[in-house]
Amino acid sequence: MTVLVCSDLDRTLIYSTAAFALEGPDETMPRLLCVEFYQGAPLSYMTEASARTLEALATASTFVPATTRTPEQYRRVHLLEKPPPYAVCANGGHILVDGDEDPDWAAAVRSRIADGCAPLTDVQQHLARNGGDFVLKRRTASDLFAYTVVDRAALPSGWVEDLTGWCAERGWRTSLQGRKVYCLPAGLTKAAAAREVARRAGASTMIAAGDALLDAELLEAADLSIRPAHGELHDTGWTAPATAVTAARGVAAGEEIAHWLLARAAAPQIFTDRSPGR
């Protein structure tokens, strides 16, 4: 049985220093490994135990990072000694095969979302008109979606909710992840890209992990899935019958998720019982 393992990256497997959520005396802290540098400075980490577990997971399954990052942002992250054969980037807008973008998939995605939602320029203009000092940056990603970096402490009450309603009327959706507010076409999903990768890899079973509302469809599409006890899904109380929840938070949850994924990928007979705790 070929098992496909699709996992979100940020705040699921890898963590910035702001998201560590480490507690206890210094001598009990786990050893950390930096897996991403940006402009020469360390940016993202996982525990060393997580890194060892992911190497084993890549041997036991077809491991697929599935991220909202653009391909350029994804390529900064070094999870494994040998890069995974597939990666899903831009929330499903790109499939990377041995590091290269599949142009046919990207073209098909753009064609599909163009028919079902308002153009990206409308969203950009709305964000520009309805910002304020709390908006630190505005960006677009792969010419597919927009996001803003905000000061969470200064974020006006109801601003995200108002934006969510405006976007929903135009076939878009929003997600608040850390300091970033994403606006994406509703048809741009990791789940669709994961199904395509599963088809190409000949996988009969899928396991998934993620922490944000943008990961919900991926978790629901999987035979078994897990989310951390933090992040957008946790804050909204999101649950699903085949989705487990970690006991830990922060970077320790990332380690727990890696071990959980490996245990199930290495024992495919568990899929005869879809209970998430098994």
Residue whose tokens read 């560590």: 20
Residues of the chain with CATH 3.40.50.1000: 3-109+188-266
Confidence category of residue 55, pLDDT binned at 50, 70, 90: very high
- Residue 231, by phi and psi: left (phi above 0), alpha (psi -120 to 50) or beta? left
What fold does the segment set 118-185 form as a domain? Answer: Hypothetical Protein Ta0175; Chain: A, domain 2 (3.90.1070)
Task: State the distance between the two ends of the chain, measured CA to CA, in whole angstroms.
Answer: 18
DSSP state of 15: B
Name the token pair of 262.
Answer: 């490996």
Percent composition of the chain: helix, strand, coil (DSSP 3-state, to 5): 40, 25, 35
**Residue 271: pLDDT above 90?**
no
For 249-268, write each residue's pLDDT tens digit: 999 999 999 999 999 999 86
For 203-233, write each residue's pLDDT tens digit: 999 999 999 999 999 999 999 999 999 999 9
Quick check: helix, strand or coil at residue 115? Answer: coil
Residues of the chain with CATH 3.90.1070.10: 118-185
The pTM assigned to this predicted structure is 0.93
For 157-213, write each residue's pLDDT tens digit: 999 999 999 999 999 999 999 899 999 999 999 999 999 999 999 999 999 999 999
Amino acid present at 231: G
Q: Which CATH superfamily is domain 3-109+188-266 in?
A: HAD superfamily/HAD-like (3.40.50.1000)
High-pLDDT (> 90) share of the chain, %: 91
Contact criterion met (CB below 8 Å) for 239 and 255: no
Amino acid present at 164: T
- Comparison of pLDDT for 110 and 272, the residue scoring more: 110
